[in-house]
Amino acid sequence: MMPAFHLLPPSASSAASRLDLLALGVLLLTGIVALGVLVLVVRFCTRYRAGSGADRAHPPLTSRMAEIAWTAIPLLLFVGVYVWGAVDYARLYSPLAGAMPVFIVAKQWMWKAEHQNGRREIGELHLARGKPVRLVMASQDVIHSFFVPAFRIKQDLVPGRYTSIWFTPTVDGEYRLFCAEFCGTGHAVMGGRVVVMAPADFGRWLQEGPTQPGMAARGFELFRRYGCSGCHAAGSTVHAPELSGLIGRRVHLRDGRELTADEAYVRDSILLPDKDLVAGYAAIMPSFAGQIGEEELLAIIEYIKESSHDERTGNR
Amino acid sequence: MTSAPETAERAQAPSYLAEDFTLWSWLGTHDHKRIAVLYMLSITLFFFIGGLAAALIRLELATPQGDLVTAETYNKLFTAHGVIMVWLFLIPSIPAVLGNFLMPMMIGARDLAFPRLNLASWYVYLAGGALTLGALLAGGVDTGWTFYTPFSSMFSNSNVVLALLGILVLGFSSILTGLNFIVTVHTMRAPGMTWFRLPLFVWANYATAIILVLATPVLAMTLVLVGIERVFQVGIFDPALGGDPLLFQHLFWFYSHPAVYIMVLPAMGVVSEIIPCFARRPVFGYRFMAYAILGIAVIGFLVWGHHMFVSGQSVYAGMVFSLLSFLVAIPSAVKVFNWTATLYKGSITFSAPMLYALGFVGLFTIGGLTGLFLAALALDVHLSDTYFVVAHFHYIMVGGSVMAYLGAIHFWWPKMTGRMYPESWGRAAAAIIFFGFNLTFFPQFLLGYQGMPRRYHSYPSEFQVLHLLSSAGAVVLALGYLLPLAYFGWSLLYGRRGGDNPWRATGLEWQTASPPPTDNFAQAPVVTQEPYAYRQ
């Protein structure tokens, strides 16, 4: 039995309809050019076939005007398409404030997801319809790529850094998740299922499953176990930066640079503490590279993020 | 166009084929024409080996289950297909065979500037080919031709280092050929052969040679770095060792994007020779065509980041690379418009070379225009690493470069061998290849938009209809490629003698005997005219 044939994949996210429109625009533009070339080639080939009686007086050899025209007109059209594509692209990477973070960790050859409340899943990802979601993604081994055709969303997961993309699921249903970057023997079977549910159903689903501490709680536990709290806790005698309210804050570095602290910055600071040294602090923090796994890192970062909400009024 | 050599003198000089018949007269030759023939034999062999891998891939993909070969074997097959077709066939194809054979004659020279270096290039190519083929046969390589790190450097359990070494050696062959071409065009042009009298084929090969010399060393360095990381565990690309995987992608595509132009510029040169000859009129906008070649060569160095729009590279870098990718499409579009205008008020005949050239124009146009989908940032997020990309680059490299290569072989076959190929077979093969190609690769655009990822040996069953069409097309295409092999072989023995200039073409290469004597011209030619001085 062959399943029904559809020309287009299902369209189930905020990004999908915008992208289909862009595709249609580019298709029209390129289609007109291709058709124009085809019509001219066929017409010239029939009209000016050897032996035909067509008028061949004064064949033009070169024409500055023609060259300028067929350089400038495509250029203008292309720049238009470029701007359109770039605006939509920038949108995919500028997450809506308040988009729900979901953490994705990939390894050969499976997808693991963890929600903020600690609910974890493997090979599946449950999302609420109409609720913007921001994926924060890491890989434990090689490069993978998170690809859901129905959402028109794809983002590589690169070991050693976080990548992120956001969208809003719009239609309930089950959609295919593929790995799109070749990752070894099991690449073709590194698939999964994305389930979009009504918000109420999603809320219920989130509470089901084995009870376990939320990510932030697990992060707090790890924060103490790895000894981070010894230096970074508020009352510590060691001169280390205080971390509450760190995410999203502008940070001045010792070498004069300035950056906005995000997940990737915290990750780098744990694994490569000397890379982005904060102004006013000595390089005394040891590296935790090779000791903390990707999932533990995400939990610690989630704890630091949560602590900013709790202590927003506190002394920085 | 030139002072014609005297008939008596021409009769005295034996053709390059009849000069000597010993094996060593071939393996030790310094004659650019014989070296071109050596290249032609070797790349033909590799083309059919790479094609065999493609046939097995398409056979496997006829059904959704991975039932013909294992995942492991499938991964090795597409790696073998990519590596062989890119480095052992496409990159040397038109430059090393036809560039080698024709360029000295087209500029009125007796040989390339460094004949021994030319022969050395072929031996280096053979050594690289043997190493690469050895790696692929002795267990295979499963990284894909792109060798993405850290998979290739730290995770793959296959013959990665041997394959890297083979490609490294092949790169030196490219560099030596490129160097030879550049020096030849600068120093060996006949009196009167000014830069703007050069045939566009020479312009194209000259620009290609510059890319070969400037880009290939970057590939060599990148491959060495991957080897160092793999063998000595020095952290360069693997973050677990302190490296950066995106650094590899930047270095790799800094070579591999210009490499696309290495493959397609010479093809454009071929088409610019064939269309004026069969339309019986000068190429339209000659100077703009030459500028477009140079424009593509220069801008082609600045677009590598468009392979990395979803890799995690900065959004702003993506925007710059996208804009530059739209810009590089402009000179290509200009070339298509000029070829079309060349047909206007021509007197057109449709021999096999012309069919291939027209096929090139059509398929290259589709390949180029679908590139705009991939250059548009947000669209690439969806299409990247799907079959849309596979279809796009096959339209450029197979629909474009291979069509042009075959067109060129048909066009200059009488020059190389003195004999004609059977014309009706030639036209039939061109039509079969054109049809088979489109049936194979057009469905892949749709597959890609539907979300079918690349490099899958099994796939969800909703993709089967299009995969089946594609596999059926591959059968037709395979037949189309075997036909020329058969009738060119036949023509060597039984083909009708074509005379010196069966196409009444104007290039300098047609002003000497077919096949030409070892020294090319009985008397050094003097050029007094513009190129493409065709009259109807």
B473 contact partners, CB below 8 Å, separation of at least 6: B436, B437, B438, B439, B440, B441, B443
Least confident window among A285-294, B78-87, B247-256: A285-294
- Put simply, whether A150 touches B (Cβ < 8 Å) is yes
- The answer to whether B341 contacts A60, with C-beta atoms less than 8 Å apart, is yes
Report whether pLDDT(B316) > 80: yes
Specify the pLDDT at position A226: 87
Name the closest residue on chain A to residue B342, using Cα atoms. Answer: A61
B residues 433-452 lying closer than 8 A (beta carbon) to A: 446, 449-451
CB atoms within 10 A of CB A199: 11
A312 contact partners, CB below 8 Å, separation of at least 6: A245
pLDDT digits (tens, 9 = 90+) for B346-391: 999 999 999 999 999 999 999 999 999 999 999 999 999 999 999 9
Name the closest residue on chain A to residue B63, using Cα atoms. Answer: A2
Which carries the bigger pLDDT value, residue B222 or residue A58? B222
pLDDT digits (tens, 9 = 90+) for B27-43: 999 999 999 999 999 99
pTM of the model: 0.91
A residues 92-111 lying closer than 8 A (beta carbon) to B: 92-93, 108
Report whether pLDDT(A258) > 50: yes
Which carries the bigger pLDDT value, residue A84 or residue A6? A84
Ordered by start, the domain boundaries in chain A are 10-38+66-212, 215-310
- Put simply, whether B188 touches A (Cβ < 8 Å) is no
A residues 47-86 lying closer than 8 A (beta carbon) to B: 48-51, 54-63, 66-67, 70-71, 74-75, 78-79, 81-82, 84-86
Q: Which helix (H) or strand (E) holds B228?
A: helix B200-232
* Model confidence band, residue A4 (pLDDT cutoffs 50, 70, 90): low
Distance in Å, alpha carbon of B72 to nearest chain A alpha carbon: 6
A residues 234-273 lying closer than 8 A (beta carbon) to B: none
- The answer to whether B343 contacts A29, with C-beta atoms less than 8 Å apart, is no
Report, as an integer, the average pLDDT of B128-142: 94
- The answer to whether A176 contacts B451, with C-beta atoms less than 8 Å apart, is yes
Q: Highest-confidence range of A118-122, A298-302, A307-311, B298-302, by mean pLDDT?
A: B298-302
- The answer to whether B381 contacts A178, with C-beta atoms less than 8 Å apart, is no
| Closest Cβ–Cβ partner in B319, B334, B343 for A70 | B334
Percentage of the residues of chain A whose pLDDT score is greater than 90: 52
Q: How far apart are CA B423 and CA B116, in angstroms?
A: 37
Counting one residue from chain A and one from chain B, the pairs whose CB atoms sit within 8 A come to 275
Q: How far apart are CA A242 and CA B432, in angstroms?
A: 72
Report whether pLDDT(B9) > 60: no
- The answer to whether B347 contacts A56, with C-beta atoms less than 8 Å apart, is yes
| Closest Cβ–Cβ partner in A5, A141, A160 for B465 | A5
Specify the pLDDT at position B75: 96
Residue B413's CATH number = 1.20.210.10
- How many angstroms separate the most distant Cα atoms in chain B? 74
Q: How far apart are CA B536 and CA A27, in angstroms?
A: 39
- The answer to whether B280 contacts A40, with C-beta atoms less than 8 Å apart, is no
Q: Which residue has the tokens 């359990």?
A: B157
pLDDT digits (tens, 9 = 90+) for A124-173: 999 999 999 999 999 999 999 999 999 999 999 999 888 999 999 999 99
Q: Does residue B358 lie within any of the structural domains?
A: yes
Q: How far apart are CA B172 and CA B212, in angstroms?
A: 10
* Model confidence band, residue A245 (pLDDT cutoffs 50, 70, 90): confident
Report yes or no: B87 and B167 within 8 Å, Cβ to Cβ: yes
Specify the pLDDT at position A313: 36
Report, as an integer, the average pLDDT of B234-247: 91
Least confident window among A92-101, A144-153, B198-207, B436-445: A92-101
Does the N-terminal peptide bond of residue B525 adopt cis geometry, omega within 30 degrees of 0?
no
Report yes or no: B458 and A188 within 8 Å, Cβ to Cβ: yes
Bridge partners, residue A164, by sequence:
A136
Phi-psi region of B70 (alpha: psi -120 to 50; beta: other; left: phi over 0): beta
Query: Radius of gyration (Cα) for chain B, nearest Å?
Result: 23
- The CATH number corresponding to A10-38+66-212 among 3.40.50.2300, 1.10.10.10, 2.60.40.420, 3.60.15.10 equals 2.60.40.420
- The answer to whether A40 contacts B340, with C-beta atoms less than 8 Å apart, is yes
Specify the pLDDT at position B392: 97
Query: Radius of gyration (Cα) for chain A, nearest Å?
Result: 27
Percentage of the residues of chain B whose pLDDT score is greater than 70: 98
Which CATH superfamily does the domain covering A215-310 fall into?
Answer: Cytochrome c-like domain (1.10.760.10)
- The answer to whether A45 contacts B348, with C-beta atoms less than 8 Å apart, is yes
* Model confidence band, residue B113 (pLDDT cutoffs 50, 70, 90): very high
Q: How far apart are CA B517 and CA A32, in angstroms?
A: 49
Specify the pLDDT at position B98: 97
- Put simply, whether B156 touches A (Cβ < 8 Å) is yes
Torsion of the alpha carbons at B352, B353, B358 and B364, rounded to the nearest 10: 120
Q: How far apart are CA B299 and CA A141, in angstroms?
A: 35
Name every chain B residue with its beta carbon within 8 A of the beta carbon of A160. 239-240, 243-245
3-state DSSP helix/strand/coil % of chain A, to nearest 5: 40, 20, 40
Burial (CB count <10 Å: 0-12, 13-18, 19+), residue A103: buried
* ipTM of the complex model: 0.91
Report whether pLDDT(B254) > 90: yes
pLDDT digits (tens, 9 = 90+) for A59-110: 888 899 999 999 999 999 999 999 999 999 999 998 888 899 999 999 999 9
- Put simply, whether A139 touches B (Cβ < 8 Å) is no
Given the DSSP bridges, would you call strands A192-197 and A124-128 parallel, antiparallel or unpaired? parallel
Name the closest residue on chain B to residue A183, using Cα atoms. Answer: B151
Specify the pLDDT at position A6: 75
Q: How far apart are CA B161 and CA B153, in angstroms?
A: 9
Specify the pLDDT at position B4: 47
Specify the pLDDT at position B11: 53
Which carries the bigger pLDDT value, residue A213 or residue B516? B516
pLDDT digits (tens, 9 = 90+) for B400-421: 999 999 999 999 999 999 999 9
Report whether pLDDT(B6) > 50: no
Which residues constitute the domain of residue B380?
37-511
* Model confidence band, residue A5 (pLDDT cutoffs 50, 70, 90): low
Are A10-38+66-212 and A215-310 the same fold in CATH?
no
| Closest Cβ–Cβ partner in B350, B385, B461 for A3 | B461
| Closest Cβ–Cβ partner in A3, A38, A89 for B381 | A89
pLDDT digits (tens, 9 = 90+) for A277-315: 888 888 888 888 888 888 888 888 888 887 764 443 333
Specify the pLDDT at position A3: 54
Report whether pLDDT(B1) > 60: no
Report whether pLDDT(B10) > 60: no
Best residue in A5, A156, A288 for a mutation probing chain B (most B CBs within 10 Å): A156
Best residue in B340, B464, B465 for a mutation probing chain A (most A CBs within 10 Å): B340
- Put simply, whether A29 touches B (Cβ < 8 Å) is yes
Q: Does residue B2 lie within any of the structural domains?
A: no
User: What is the number of structural domains in chain B?
Assistant: 1
Report yes or no: A185 and B75 within 8 Å, Cβ to Cβ: yes
The first and second tokens of residue B233, run together, are 């565990």
Q: Which helix (H) or strand (E) holds A165?
A: strand A163-167
Report, as an integer, the average pLDDT of B165-187: 97
Specify the pLDDT at position B8: 44
Specify the pLDDT at position A296: 87
Report, as an integer, the average pLDDT of A175-179: 96
